[in-house]
Amino acid sequence: MTAENSQESSNPKRLALVASKGTLDQAYPPMILATTAASLGWEVGIYFTFYGLDILHQDRFEKLKVPSLANPAGPIRLPNLLGAVPGATAAATRVMQKWMRDSRMPELPDFIEMSQELGVTFFACATTMGVMGVDESDLIDGCDIAGAAAFLDFAADADVQLYI
């Protein structure tokens, strides 16, 4: 093994992600990146903020939706006028879920479980909790409630930082 190939186990690389979206299609990318980075042996933390906090919300994370409005690349391609019809969001969500199932991709709750088993840190944005009336007991187990300073302290030493 060459020196440049070796990963110092005492000083792993670090990935800091911000997950700011609460729709199903936007919840997948941070979870895919997090599980991949953790599989590479990296230290990973995700800061779930604003609508992204729904990914950690016990009553919501299994019910995230794919928007049929203002989503021209979405799974059902409707003019916005039709995208507003009742049932269009549910239909778009079902199509994406079918895509994922047919591709044998894990569902979002599976990604959450995989991430936690790999030791990914879930930062729950304290301000979002205050603004949106989310209590600690509303969140899935194992979240770190943190403000921006605590996340930035983690991100300051990260090799890769991404906002999603």
Partner 1 sequence: MTTQIDQPQADLELDTSGLLCPLPVYKAAMAMGQLESGQVLELICTDPGSLEDIPAMARQRGDELVHLDDRGDQQVFWIRKGTS
Site for partner 1 in 30-59 (CB under 8 A): 32, 35-36, 38-42
Please state, in angstroms and rounded to a whole number, the distance separating the CA atoms of residues 50 and 126: 10
Pick between residue 51 and residue 111 the one whose CB is nearest to partner 1. 111
Min dist. Cβ of residue 118 to partner 1 (A): 8
Q: If binding is defined by CB under 8 A, does position 7 make contact with partner 1?
A: yes
Burial class (CB in 10 A: 0-12, 13-18, 19+), 120: buried
- Write out the DSSP string of 125-160: EHHHHHHHT--GGGBPTTEEEE-HHHHHHHHTT-SE
Q: Is 6 in the site for partner 1 (CB under 8 A)?
A: yes
DSSP state of 57: B
Cβ closer to partner 1: 39 or 80?
39
Tell the residue number behind the tokens 């569902």, with chain if given.
107
Contact 55, 19 (CB under 8 A): yes
Tell me whether residue 69 or residue 160 sits nearer to partner 1 (CB atom). Answer: 160
Closest contact distance (angstroms) between CB of 110 and partner 1 is 10
Residues within window 65-104 making contact with partner 1, judged by CB under 8 A: 103-104
Tokens of 23: 């729709």
Q: Is 137 in the site for partner 1 (CB under 8 A)?
A: no
> What residues make contact with partner 1 under the rule CB under 8 A?
1-2, 5-7, 9, 13, 32, 35-36, 38-42, 103-106, 114
